[in-house]
Chain A
Amino acid sequence: MIMTHPGLPVYWQVLIGVFMLLVSAWAIFAKAPEKTSHVGWPLERMPLVGLLIRFLNASPWPLLFAKIIMVAIFITVIYSGLQGTPIPERNLATVLTWNLWWAGLVVAIFFLGSAWCAICPWDALATWLVRMRLWGRGKLNNSLNIKVPKWLRNVWPALLMFMVLTWFELGVGVTLDPYATAVLSLLMVVMATVSLALFEDKAFCHYFCPVGRTVGYYSQLAPVALRPLDPNICAACTTLECYHGSETVEPCPTHLVMGTLKENTFCTSCGNCVQSCPDQNVSWHLRPQSVEVKQDARPNWDDAWFMLGLLTLTSFHGITMLPFWYDGISQFGGWIGDSGQLLLSFSLGMLFVMLAPIALYAALVYLAQRWTGNTVRYRQAFSVLAFASLPLAFSYHIAHNLNHLVRESHDLWLLFTNPSGEGMLPLSMMEKHERHLQMIISQDTLFLLQGGLMLFGFWLAIQVIRYRAFALYSETKLWVLPIVLFAILIHGFDLWLMAQPMTMRM
């Protein structure tokens, strides 16, 4: 028997649907938006939260302490996965990794941007092993410091890794296998360590890590960012400690210069710039969530593909958790003579779900190009308009993950006291029902959050389309129609997914 979560109620579907149509109509007929400049508000100058930010900025120890805790939890996960019970819902490795961390990470980005990368245990372990110290500038002796080959200096490797991770997660079923979860976690540490030992700076975080890049792109929509307190100080700076590091502090792991920093994508929130700046001119800022994705982030071909990949893979997650997916794959497997776990059928299904929306997007961008008389290059339009996919993916991703977080994260305390699940039996149907009913928040509150996120995501996507497309085609409004249509179709499909009963993960 398969346990399912109820989908978004009809009244929310209608409300969101009507909102989408009204906002789309407004986007077509409203006058062109004007570019705005947002410096943001320094958090350290705000009451209460300012105290916390000043404490975090004052020394590297709070961050180091957080890293040590994360590594301790990570080692517990590895131990539980390798030595503990194979029952997924009774093992800390599977529950913590897939139900709490993987689901909660996206929610955390909504509030804290790329803060996760600062305490990432993969990177912490790799850095400690290669640099041979817990904090500060390590010996260069332990790394070959090779420049990453030019053909790898993009996010294609991260996109490929993200696809592979999704394949393992949903196709092979790593989420239900504590041992495989632990092996996958170890593999990430090995890759991060080898990359750090071979390449200069943090090439793994910059180009290869699927989680880091996902966090990075979504962080464009975060309300917080590390920025200069006084841009004039950066403008007059000639030593660039934020970029080169200082005697005691490592350089920026992803080659960012604070004075020109306009987007969060590659910022790992490591705080090196905060610690190394001799003028203490770098700190956390509060800012409007849309400013970066609307106008500040620079469009690139590989970035566009990653954002579209995020969009399609988040929807794909939702599709595989619908009961009909299994029947469809089984039927398809029968047609093509697939056997066993039907991995070939799954892979083809995944490829189709990924490529179909991208093909639709490509066709609609082409249409917009034709209507505007090809005033800009197709590749440029494709890259620029892809920013619209980010809020669509982000809002659906959080709304979907809230289901896992709220409905499947019970008994965590029990798991921490018995991480290996010693002597535990699988959840019985009765226990699953109980867990299903004992939600962290009420069901109506969950629907309110999910509905609100879907509204917010679409509103933001339309804003992005208007700003980005007006920057591209300033003379005409016809361009807007195909891309708005794309947003409606994708978000409408995601809304439909949200309305379906969703299979419980474990």
Chain B
Amino acid sequence: MRSKFLIMLLMCLTTVSAFAHHVLGRPAYSLSDDSNTPPSMQVETQIGDFFVTYMAFPAFPQPGQQGRVNLYATHREDGKPFDGQVTFVIKDDKWFGGHKETLGTQKIDDGVYRQGFLIDKAGEYIISARFISGGEPYTIDFPLKIGQVSGIGPIGIALIVIIFVLVMVNVIQRKRLLRGKIQAAHKDSAA
């Protein structure tokens, strides 16, 4: 979710409507009461003709730790599961560029599309699930945080903006004062 907040703000300000099949649901964290599994992160979202539930185990994987994503997609009309192929792609969650890699293409298994992953480097990632239904391409993005990531970015941006404004204001004010003094001196000499 790191830079997603800012990206979402920018997208909402710059687009009229969101018809693209590219979604970011709201994550929720749940702990199963009747199992010893670690907490999972879950996103429930709606895209085109489908309700999609996307789940990651564990919710906060560490670098080098085996993880898994599960995807459930059901038709909104009749609740039947989508039966096809889903391709999972992982990429860096960066504004520009970033590494991209296909994790695999999965068929339905007991109503679920399951994809394992193992990432060695801590950071912010996005796992995209892609499938085609009725000739329409669907992409569901899922944010994934591996390990501890520095949160210094927003503080740095805030400090840069504040320092820049304060320095500029100070420079302008000093020039104003200097100009005032010069004008006063001119008036005095003219008098």
Binding site for B on A (CB under 8 A): 78, 81-83, 85-87, 129-130, 140-144, 172-174, 176-177, 179-180, 182-183, 186-187, 189-190, 193-194, 197-198, 330, 333-334, 337-344, 425-430
Contacts and interface: CB of A to CB of B under 8 A. Distances in A.
A333 B39 CA distance: 30
B155 A339 contact: no
B48 interface: yes
Nearest to B30: A426
A69 to B, nearest CB: 21
13 contacts: A82-B152, A142-B169, A173-B26, A180-B1, A193-B162, A197-B166, A334-B46, A340-B23, A340-B25, A344-B18, A425-B31, A426-B59, A428-B31
A333 B46 contact: yes
Contact of A183 (B5, B46, B172): B5
B126 interface: no
Contacts of B31: 425-428
Contact of A130 (B5, B20, B166): B166
Contacts of B14: none
4 nearest CB pairs, A to B: A340-B23, A82-B151, A426-B29, A180-B5
A197 B171 CA distance: 12
Given A78-B155, A176-B28, A428-B33, A340 B169 contact: no
B158 A186 contact: yes
A140 B173 CA distance: 9
| Most-contacted residue by chain A among B60, B161, B166 (CB, 10 A) | B166
Given A338-B18, A426-B30, A430-B33, A189 B158 contact: yes
Contact of B23 (A129, A186, A190, A339): A339
Interface residues of B, number: 46
B185 interface: no
B12 A343 contact: yes
B151 A197 contact: no
A341 B169 contact: no
User: Which of A129, A172, A182, A189 is packed against the most chain B CB atoms within 10 Å?
Assistant: A172
Interface string B130-145: 0000000000000001
A62 B40 CA distance: 47
A180 B76 CA distance: 30
B95 to A, nearest CB: 15
Contact of A339 (B18, B28, B177): B18
A25 B39 CA distance: 57
A83 B46 CA distance: 30
B169 A198 contact: yes
Nearest to A141: B173
B170 interface: yes
Interface in B1-57: 1-2, 5-6, 8, 12, 17-31, 33, 39, 45-48
Given A82-B154, A82-B155, A197 B18 contact: no
A142 B163 CA distance: 12
Contacts of A426: 29-31, 39, 59
B39 A339 contact: no
B174 interface: yes
Contacts of A330: 46
B184 interface: no
A183 B126 CA distance: 20
Contacts of A78: 155
B47 A340 contact: yes
A429 B25 CA distance: 22
Contacts of B2: 179
B23 A341 contact: yes
Contacts of B20: 339
Contact of B18 (A144, A343, A430): A343
B182 interface: no
A340 B151 CA distance: 26
A189 B177 CA distance: 28
Contact of A341 (B25, B30, B158, B165): B25
Contacts of B28: 176
A86 B166 contact: no
A144 B166 CA distance: 10
Nearest to B176: A144
B27 to A, nearest CB: 8
A143 B168 CA distance: 10
Contacts of B46: 330, 333-334, 338-340, 342
Given A140-B173, A143-B173, A190-B158, 10 more contacts: A78-B155, A129-B162, A141-B173, A180-B5, A189-B162, A190-B162, A337-B19, A339-B19, A426-B30, A429-B33
Contact of B145 (A86, A334, A339, A340): A86
Contact of B45 (A197, A198, A341, A430): A341
Given A183-B154, A341-B25, A197 B5 contact: no
Contacts of B18: 338-340, 343-344
B47 A339 contact: yes
A343 B22 CA distance: 13
A340 B24 contact: yes
Nearest to B151: A82
A254 B106 CA distance: 63
Nearest to A427: B31
Given A339-B18, A340-B18, A344-B18, A183 B169 contact: no
B173 A142 contact: yes
A177 B1 contact: yes
Contacts of A83: 151
A227 to B, nearest CB: 35
Contacts of A197: 165-166, 169
A430 to B, nearest CB: 6
Nearest to A347: B12
B88 to A, nearest CB: 18
A194 B161 contact: yes
A183 B48 contact: no
Nearest to A180: B5
Contacts of A176: 26, 28
Nearest to A333: B46
A83 to B, nearest CB: 5
Nearest to B38: A425
Contacts of A343: 8, 12, 18
Nearest to A424: B39
Interface string B111-137: 000000000000000000000000000
